[in-house]
Structure 1
Amino acid sequence: MAKKKQTIYSKDWASLHPYQGSARTDFYYTTIANKIYTVLDNLLENEISDENLFYLKEEEKKQLACTLTSYFEDIISETGIFRAFTKEHYRKYNSPLPFFPCNDYANEEINTEDIQFLTWHYFMQLNRGEIPYSPETPLFSRIAEKVMEILDEEYESAPANEKLKGFFDLSPKECTNLY
């Protein structure tokens, strides 16, 4: 099998980060994003229909791959970005995510439901809600399962992005004067 050429580069990855320069983990996460891109490319290629409801341009696939990789980086680095969302949603609705039964949900770990939710959310934002996709769309489930295989394999050895974590660490003074 021929090796897929790199599609996502460090500049693509860096565009999703709030800090200047690069972190020592950027190459690692760019590699993960490229693996996810390949999964997306393969799955979406098989979904072409007359309506092209699931068609994504190359840039959109790159952005979705980077978004899902950023979720993984957030969990590994313990920055708490996605955790803040699930925690607040749980506080309000007694469930970490909307739409999904989260019986085996593992807080502060990667979850297939998270990936499926983020994929659904990406598609909904991309079309500005004009196409009302179901969160339980089978394609979103397949994407989540395949992406989870990649992330699960990397979970125990993935490096934390200390630069990202440091960006979100606030001093006690900053915490009391946040607003």
Structure 2
Amino acid sequence: MTIFAHDEFAKSFLENLLSPFGKVEPSLKIAAEVREVDVYFMPSGDNFNRTDLGLLARFVTELVVFEPFRNSVSVPDIRACMSKLYDLHAKIYREAKRKKQPEPKDDELPMLWILTPTLSDNILMSLGASLDAERGEGVYLLPSAQKTGIIVIHRLPRTPETLRRALAGFPGGLARQDSGLEY
């Protein structure tokens, strides 16, 4: 139910404007399903030594959500992960409002990291993803307001730092036999 006069006016205006051209359903209810993020990480205040995490250490300095995929992620999968992230953001806003706390700033909201064994250039381009200059090859960022990044495992450089043993058992080939390095 809309409680603001402007919203009611806008809905009514669009309904009247568009109804000659097709079916219009104002206030369409969407049944929400209970969903879970795969991994929600909240760093502790302790400055523990994260060197054992390799490249992963660069991602766990702030609130993050990890969504790992065994097979190459699809665009609908990416959208579903982002939808879960935005539901989580909405929950954080509601909790702050309920506790009468200030609304969280954007940098206080979790970032989503999708881990995929491989991903095509076409999909990365269609998402507006760009190489993360700070973290390097294999790590891509979507436009900043989306708070989403994609780690493409097969594109990571073959160095001791890249995810190392932190994700060695990850399905999709993180444990590379040919490099001589322990991932």
Shorter-chain TM-score: which interval? under 0.3
TM-score by length of 2: 0.24
Q: Which has more helix, going by share of residues?
A: 1
Which of the pair has more CA radius of gyration?
A: 2
Give the TM-score of the pair, scaled to structure 1. 0.24
Question: Comparing both structures, which one devotes a greater share of its residues to strand?
Answer: 2
